[in-house]
Amino acid sequence: MKITIDLVAERAGVSKTTVSRIMNGNFAHTRDETKNRVLQVIQELDYRPNALAKGLKSSHTNVLGIVLSNLKNPFWTVVLEGVEDACRHLGYNLMICNSSEQAAMEEQYIKEFQMRRLDGIVINPTARNLELYTKLAASKYPMVVVNRRVPGLDVHHVIMNNMKGATMAVHQLLHNGRRNIAAFVYDNPYVSTWKERVDGYREALQGSGRSPEELRILELELEGGTAKSTIMRYLGEHPEIDGIFSTNNMLTLQIIEAVKEMGLKLPEDIAIVGYDETVWSQHLDPPLTTIMQPGYKMGYLAAQMLIKSIKAKRKPKPETIVLEPELIVRKSCGAVRS
Amino acid sequence: MKITIDLVAERAGVSKTTVSRIMNGNFAHTRDETKNRVLQVIQELDYRPNALAKGLKSSHTNVLGIVLSNLKNPFWTVVLEGVEDACRHLGYNLMICNSSEQAAMEEQYIKEFQMRRLDGIVINPTARNLELYTKLAASKYPMVVVNRRVPGLDVHHVIMNNMKGATMAVHQLLHNGRRNIAAFVYDNPYVSTWKERVDGYREALQGSGRSPEELRILELELEGGTAKSTIMRYLGEHPEIDGIFSTNNMLTLQIIEAVKEMGLKLPEDIAIVGYDETVWSQHLDPPLTTIMQPGYKMGYLAAQMLIKSIKAKRKPKPETIVLEPELIVRKSCGAVRS
DNA sequence: TCGATTTCGGAAACCGATTAACAAATGCGC
DNA sequence: GCGCATTTGTTAATCGGTTTCCGAAATCGA
């Protein structure tokens, strides 16, 4: 025998309307005596209302969806923590999906979210489903884009100031006397964050009087595990390089490995500044200088913003929040050279 | 105007029965001409059936839930990857929740799962809601417990052989000539994995002829950040210690920090073997010897098992799968002493 | 040609909640 | 004791699908 609202009503000798009201904290229509009797029965039966029925009727589920690109990168687990906390504080549940940077999976998950009638979604977009995003935005489906910019898409954004972070990283290297600084980046042209970091690198160097010819930008394959060997080859061809700006925390690990394997010393021969502070940054050899981003805050704000926009009667104008990075100086960027 | 099955039916000039059949791939009752017309309309309207309504009627949602204890530990993101892949391959969606090792949150999430009528759950239990687990099992709610053992709970388990891993770790230290080996562990008595690892340590030492007095087991606070100073005090009081078996990857980072801060050299003065291989293990200074656990496999098997049990007409007998760890030798455990 | 199948498709009940509209009971002033 | 407002609770429609049962038309066999 399934435990439904009808059963509760029957046992308590009232109609399901009354039970429903009490379940939803609406006590205006029932006297205390009745209320307590119903509450008692609910307790005894350990009744759990069917969220599907509730959602079907009321057309909202109190569930948010998030699709992100890589759960294995600790940056995202921190963001997730922020999203989770906001959801918990504001009474929402969360459905988490992993696009693995693949447009097809992203599309599938978003459609799944819609079919399940999730109240809204947070997305770190692959930036490859422009048509879908636009349709979503046009249909007023509550949505917040995080971390990456999707140009021309008029929805809420919570993003990071990547130019600033990159500039800080490069300036730190320059400050420590490095003269031939390279920037290493994964070769995915859709990821605006990486692009912006390279732009920041470019700007910082040119701003300090370097000519465009002195720019050393190396693009590495994201897949296939060829990154390390490519790095070694590149460093072999450019022995003048004495500083590296790494635009991604996973990439940084590969760079360190490559440099060590070449017998070069860190930070004496080559100084490194990496993007994204992680649990391991301070434990590496040498401890890593990094750009720290407020991931938790980004997640929290995004969820908060999304929920606000869900609850709003009239949809608010899309807003963009830009969060500022911070430089954490450790040994890997080298000391000031005399 | 909302796009429902009725609208599709109307536009196609058929009844919703027919549309429903076609949506579910049941073409036996419709001729090709009608089928194609309906398909056409579905396409044009970009119709997405309401999963809530579907779930309400058919009483299954094709969603699995997982509640785990700490998403920030990379061990769990790997497990999650396995679960996700299995879900994707077998046509399920996943709802991920984070108990943060708190019984109350675990309870809340499980109840949420039930209300949402998820088809089954995977759980890394806090082991503090025994009554709830038992009730769940008794109610035949499909469930698979991972990583930790809940004694007396007769449900599917996919767990790791922790005794074996701990034994391997300690033997490696002994093999490398360490004579005074300590085991460091977080002080949560509910986590069976940590307990088993300490048991393994105990057994390995006693098996090699050590007396119980020679056991050095230090329990550290999980919360509060006092671990590092406690470690330093302990090592100060026990200068004879020349090997440490760390039962947790996060703890390992703190141990390394403490040891370095005391001016001791790794691995010369103190050798370390840590539990759980992670992305950073090989990049630490010195590179860390670890026990690697097949997390992906655990996740995949758990989800697979769960789905099998959901689909089974007659519920299969609870089964326990035990997965074996592997030792990865790097410099931190020291070389063989002459 | 006629009854029996087979093919194709619809009507309506149902899943388990919410909620508008309505009705009975009670209280209260006079 | 009467009229009216307030309190307390019910009936029934509804959300958007699935599925059982049934009926009409087409096909078939003899």
DSSP string over B87-100: HHHHT-EEEEEE-T
Strand C–CB A34 distance below 7 A: no
Nucleotides in chain C with any atom closer than 7 Å to protein CB: 7-12, 14-21
The domains of chain A, with CATH numbers, are 5-49 (1.10.260.40), 60-160+295-325 (3.40.50.2300), 162-292+327-333 (3.40.50.2300)
| B→A interface, C-beta within 8 Å | 48-53, 55-56, 61, 63, 71-72, 74, 77-78, 80-81, 84, 93-98, 111-112, 114-117, 250, 253, 256-257, 279-280, 282-286
CA B290 – C1' D19 distance (Å)? 56
Provide the CB-side half-sphere exposure for A197 (13 A, CA): 34
In this structure, which amino acid lies at residue B168? Answer: M
What's the pLDDT band for A181 if we cut at 50, 70, 90? very high
> Residues A282-333: pLDDT tens digits?
989 889 999 999 999 999 999 999 999 999 988 889 999 999 999 999 999 9
The count of C-alpha atoms lying within 13 angstroms of the C-alpha of A216, restricted to the half-sphere facing its C-beta, is: 19
DSSP string, A85-136: HHHHHHT-EEEEEE-TT-HHHHHHHHHHHHHTT-SEEEE---S--HHHHHHH
Nucleotide nearest to A49 (CA to C1'): C17
Residues of B in contact with A285 (CB under 8 A): 283-286
> Tokens 């709003």 sit at which residue?
A312
**Residue A338 pLDDT more than 60?**
no
CB contacts < 8 A, A to B, total 108
Does residue A42 register a pLDDT over 90? yes
Categorize the per-residue pLDDT at B334 as very low, low, confident or very high, splitting at 50, 70 and 90.
confident
Task: Determine whether the distance from the CB of A136 to the nearest atom of strand D is below 7 Å.
Answer: no
Is A18 near strand D, with its CB below 7 A from some atom of it?
yes
- The separation, in Å, between residue B14 CA and nucleotide D23 C1' comes to 16
CA atoms of B39 and B56, how far apart (whole Å): 24
Give CA–CA dist B260/B281, Å, rounded: 17
Summarize pLDDT for B211-253 with one digit per residue, the tens. Answer: 777 799 999 998 888 899 999 999 999 999 999 999 999 999 9
Residue predicted with more confidence, A182 or B314: A182
CA A338 and chain centroid, separation:
41
The reported pLDDT for the residue numbered B338 is 45
Average predicted confidence (pLDDT) for chain B: 94
pLDDT for residue A219: 95
Identify the sign of the CA torsion A161, A163, A166, A170: negative
- pLDDT tens digit sequence for B112-126: 999 999 999 999 999
Residues in chain B closer than 8 A to A84 (CB atoms): 98
Helices (H) and strands (E) in chain A, counts: 12, 12
3-state secondary structure of B219: strand
Q: Could you report how far apart the first and last alpha carbons of chain B are, in Å?
A: 82
Count of other CB atoms within 10 angstroms of residue B47: 17
Cα–Cα distance, A268 to B334 (Å, whole number): 27
pLDDT surpassing 80 at residue B29:
yes
Residue A212 pLDDT exceeds 90 = no
| DSSP conformation class of B208 | T
Residue B220's pLDDT is: 95
Closest residue of A to B50, CA-based?
A: A115
Mean pLDDT of chain A: 94
Instruction: Enter the tokens of residue A149.
Output: 């910019």
Q: For residue A55, list chain B residues with Cβ-Cβ distance below 8 A.
A: 52
Taking any CB pair shorter than 8 Å as contact, residues of chain A touching chain B are: 48-53, 55-56, 61, 63, 71-72, 74, 77-78, 80-81, 84, 93-98, 111-112, 114-117, 250, 253, 256-257, 279-280, 282-286
Instruction: Pinpoint the alpha helices (H) of A189-240.
Output: 192-207, 227-237
- Answer whether residue B291 shows pLDDT above 90: yes
Which chain B residues are within 8 Å of A56, Cβ to Cβ? 50, 52-53, 56
- Kindly give the pairing relationship between strand A181-186 and strand A156-160: unpaired
CA distance A332 to A228: 19
Q: Letter for the amino acid at B104?
A: A
**What long-range pairs does A4-10 form, CB within 8 A, spacing at least 24?**
A4/A50, A5/A47, A5/A49, A7/A45, A7/A47, A8/A38, A8/A41, A8/A42, A8/A45, A8/A47
Q: What is the DSSP letter of B323?
A: E
- Give tens-digit pLDDT for A107-159: 999 999 999 999 999 999 999 999 999 999 999 999 999 999 998 899 999 99
Q: Which residues of A touch B97 (CB under 8 A)?
A: 93-94
Q: How close A208 gets to chain B, by Cα (Å)?
A: 33
Statement: residue B337 has pLDDT above 80: no
- SS3 call for A265: coil
Structure tokens belonging to residue A4:
């439904």
Give the residue on B whose Cα is nearest the Cα of A284: B284
